[in-house]
Structure 1
Amino acid sequence: MIKQERMVVTNQQEIAHHIFELTVQGELTGEMKAPGQFVHVRVADSFEPLLRRPISVASIDFESNQFTMIYRAEGRGTTLLSEKKAGDTVDILGPLGNGFPVEQAKQKAYLIGGGIGVPPLYELAKELNAKGIETVHILGFESKGAVFYEDKFRALGDTHIATVDGSHGTQGFVTHILNELPKDFDTYYSCGPTPMLEAVQWAYPEKQGFLSYEQRMGCGIGACFACVCRTTKSETDYIKVCSDGPVFPAGVVIS
């Protein structure tokens, strides 16, 4: 069930260059059903900026009623959000969207993320590990200064890092790593920029895959039609990333 709640900030810190980790506490946490869902955050108590910001959920702690978000502070709205401190409150709407289907993985899964598409894969990795599924993490970033959660992912399984400038890990994109890895897995999950998602689908046409799309949103609940995409079902059929997704089976969305 979707809730709107003023949640209490329990911690916020910068974990990479302009990348912030924000943990909040409240009853809304108990409504979360699957990794890959997101929340819509009102970044300030004024009417400017007007629109909420969609932010993915990186980790959920049901026992303490807390969840953690990771976001990039790059505009006025997210910069204002980055100024929140422990004890402050934030107006949050959620959980929104459909997450990753954890039950589809059988024995081994590849988790492939790029940039700010990496955070939801962390909660996914935790839940897959809890089910006894082996996870391999292939994560791409711009540079060493943008890398985050590497140690956390390594604690859950084999982890590979790519950076565009080669300052850490493999130089290039996640596809450069994928080309070197065996295809001994049954399911892949991916989140990141659309070109990366297209490349992942092209690399594994015979595998079962689920992709989480990044799209600009207005309302976050499917009412404004700001995030529509075409599908492969027909030329006139469209889906809304916020309410129908953001996670879709591979091959459904036309970029």
Structure 2
Amino acid sequence: MKKLIDFTVTENKRLNHDTILLVLHSEELPEIQPGQFVNVRVDHSPSTFLRRPISVHDVDEAHGLLYLFIKIVGCGTSTLGDLQIGDKVNVMLPLGNHFSIPASGRPLL
């Protein structure tokens, strides 16, 4: 079931000039399956009206952490790249169809 959750930024690590790893925390993190994604609301960006769809990079359910690997390509993702630790981010999740891991435990990709 989709939820709207306010996450707190715990880390915003710039990996190079156009990619970041955004780490978000929430006590009410729902279960996220492989292949699902999230829609992130971009606040304080006058030209960004729609949420940005972002693939889930990783999830740490035990600690309530959501990892988003983001490429800076426009105003919306640039604004996300400027977030500071402690900022709030509204996220709609989980979205999309998930897939299962093969029983052999050896995925192709």
TM over 0.5: yes
Matched, 1:30 2:30: yes
1:101-180 matches, within 5 Å, as: 101-102=100-101, 104-111=102-109
2:26 aligned partner, one-letter code: G
Deviation at 1:85, TM superposition (A): 1.0
1:108 and 1:48, CA in 2 relative to 1: closer, same or farther beyond 3 A? same
Query: Which of the pair has the greater relative contact order for Cα pairs under 8 Å at 6+ separation?
Result: 2
Partner Cα distance (1:91, 1:107) in 2: 34
Deviation at 1:97, TM superposition (A): 0.8
Query: Per-residue displacement from partner, 1:74-119 (whole Å, max 9, x unpaired)?
Result: 10110011000110010111111112211x34153221xxxxxxxx
Partner Cα distance (1:94, 1:22) in 2: 16
Matched-pair contact (CA < 8 Å) for 1:29–1:60: no
Structure 1 runs of 4+ aligned residues shifted over 6 Å read none
The alignment's C-alpha RMSD in Å is 1.7
Partner Cα distance (1:9, 1:35) in 2: 22
Matched, 1:90 2:97: no
Partner Cα distance (1:48, 1:91) in 2: 17
Partner Cα distance (1:58, 1:46) in 2: 24
Deviation at 1:61, TM superposition (A): 0.5
Partner Cα distance (2:94, 2:74) in 1: 23
1:88 aligned partner, one-letter code: D
Partner Cα distance (1:15, 1:48) in 2: 25
Partner Cα distance (1:56, 1:91) in 2: 15
Which of the pair is proportionally richer in helix? 1
Matched-pair contact (CA < 8 Å) for 1:12–1:84: yes
Unaligned runs of 5+ in 1: 112-255
Q: Which residue of 2 aligns with 1:67?
A: 66
Unaligned runs of 5+ in 2: none
Relative to the length of structure 2, the TM-score reads 0.89
Partner Cα distance (1:11, 1:101) in 2: 29
Query: SS of the residue aligned with 1:80?
Result: helix
Deviation at 1:47, TM superposition (A): 6.1
Number of residue-to-residue matches in the alignment = 109
Query: SS of the residue aligned with 1:93?
Result: strand
1:28 and 1:72, CA in 2 relative to 1: closer, same or farther beyond 3 A? farther
1:7-46 matches, within 5 Å, as: 7-32=7-32, 34-45=33-44
Which of the pair is proportionally richer in strand? 2
Deviation at 1:72, TM superposition (A): 0.4
Relative to the length of structure 1, the TM-score reads 0.40
